[in-house]
Chains A and B, each alone.
Chain A
Amino acid sequence: MTSAFHPHPEMLRIHDLHAFYGESHILHGIDLKVARGECVTLLGRNGSGRSTTLKSVLGLVGRRSGSIMVNGKEVIAEPTHRMARYGVGYVPEERAIFASLSCEENLLLPPQVASGGMSVDEIYRMFPNLLERRNSPGSKLSGGEQQMLAMARVLRTGAKLLLLDEITEGLAPVIVRKLGEVIIELKSRGFTIVMVEQNFRFAAPLADRHYVLEHGEIIATISAEELPGRMDWLHQTLGV
């Protein structure tokens, strides 16, 4: 399998991104940059455009304009199925585990489109629950197991840029803790991570930078160092 992946210091650069669902104009000129190996979060209230930003990178919105550079290459005109070849792995909010496939079939479904993907053994070491449930139908997995599977699935493909949408939503604290450990390990392995997160306490210690969205625009960029001094404003803005 050929790979379009050659390292570039800037893993994701979005410029003046507009996105539409039908007649609805959802994103109004998003600008952001994520360097290789960074972890950033997109914060904001419901409907602020965080998930749409991730979907726009994949081409999963109705219409989009602007510029999306992945690993130094313009990809806004690329079809969705090519994005995995540029090293983009997407974990959607609803997890999208295929009910008609077993746990292992779900895991093995995506083709390995870039080099450096984790082996199945490595994945089972990282998520031992999945090994125990490998033959269970996707629909019979718990929420936490589905979330782990959704993440494991993209790690196998060779994705270098992970777009994670609300991965902790509705999960027990013990699973959330486990996911936090996984994110730390992935960071240490050099993965670039963009997270949409409601659970600010989960995201704050993991991220290098936070983008705050409101009404489809980025209204603030807060680095990890600036975060303690901006907490009051952030709580007020996010309503948490």
Chain B
Amino acid sequence: MEIFGVPSALLGSQLLVGLINGSFYAILSLGLAIIFGLLNIINFTHGAQYMMGAFVAWIALNKLGINYWVALLLAPLAVGALGVLIERTMLRKLYKLDHLYGLLLTFGLALIFEGIFRDQYGISGQSYPVPELLQGGVNLGFMFLPIYRGWVVVAALTVCFATWFIIEKTKLGAYLRAGTENPQMVQALGINVPLLITFTYGFGVALAAFAGVLAAPIYQVSPLMGSNLIIVVFAVVVIGGMGSIMGSILTGIGLGLIEGLTRVFYPEASAVVVFVIMVIVLLVRPAGLFGKA
């Protein structure tokens, strides 16, 4: 069967790849958006924290025998705790300064973390096995769906929409939204904003690490895996609108799919299509598709 002259199996598999990439874009840009919303910090360490999530899972498996399912919980907690430490000891001192200082600090930290892992493990990737429960695939008739890839999409989107629900529909989310608008007033109303900021940064970082664990069996676990991805994720955040939660999720998935389709119909442009869209969005709607001008 062909669709627009393209075999359906090829189209389906590229759409699946796009959906998987989109899921990673969504979960990573969501973390960035949450952090930017409350802290006003562009977290350039996000890619390195994603990479560390994957490495924690890999080390846990190979050195400690801890399986994938435990790592899926453990790695976000461990990397999130490191995020809390970074916020408490470094980022906190920068809130009253220009945004540039936060950007420079997080960029420097990303280089340090990547350097440490390069020094220890080199740049050739480490493989992480697909967990037994998720091995194999399903023939959908028009394409073959590897179960693990389907799981990645479901898990990433579940986490994204759960995060959206927490932010939009719960009291904690109301604190976060109010704190994003006017942190001083939120403090005057009796809410511990410094603690809220620490928690938010830790949570955003944990999301990146969660994505890293999900990515470990698909991509090679490598010190550079984050820096390869993070530039596209920043473009996603800009297109969705800085600080917009739903914007990050929908834009991430949408751009992943567009990238996948471009790979089928015009492969030469697949590496730049996200950036072309970013330029167009910035020209037409500088606040982003879902951002408030």
> B-contacting residues of A (Cβ < 8 Å)?
58, 60, 79-85, 90, 92, 96, 98-101, 105, 108-111, 113, 153-154, 157
Contacts and interface: CB of A to CB of B under 8 A. Distances in A.
B193 interface: yes
B182 to A, nearest CB: 5
Contacts of B178: 98, 100-101, 109
7 contacts: A60-B188, A83-B188, A83-B190, A84-B189, A84-B190, A100-B177, A111-B189
Contact of B189 (A60, A79, A99, A154): A154
Interface in B188-206: 188-194
B185 A96 contact: yes
A162 to B, nearest CB: 12
Nearest to A1: B190
Interface string B58-100: 0000000000000000000000000000000000000000000
Given A90-B188, A113-B190, 8 more contacts: A79-B194, A80-B187, A84-B189, A100-B181, A105-B174, A109-B175, A109-B189, A111-B189
Contacts of A81: 187-188, 190-194
A60 B193 contact: no
Contacts of A98: 177-178, 181-182, 185
B158 interface: no
The dominant DSSP class at the B interface is helix
A105 B190 CA distance: 15
A153 B190 CA distance: 12
A96 B182 contact: yes
A101 B174 contact: yes
A153 B188 CA distance: 11
Contacts of A110: 189-191
A111 B191 contact: yes
Contacts of A109: 171, 174-175, 178, 186, 189, 191
B281 to A, nearest CB: 22
Interface in B153-192: 171, 174-175, 177-178, 180-182, 184-192
Q: Please name the 5 residue pairs, one residue from A and one from B, whose CB atoms are nearest each other, closest first.
A: A84-B190, A110-B189, A96-B185, A80-B187, A98-B178
A48 B91 CA distance: 36
B190 to A, nearest CB: 3
A80 B181 contact: no
B177 A101 contact: yes
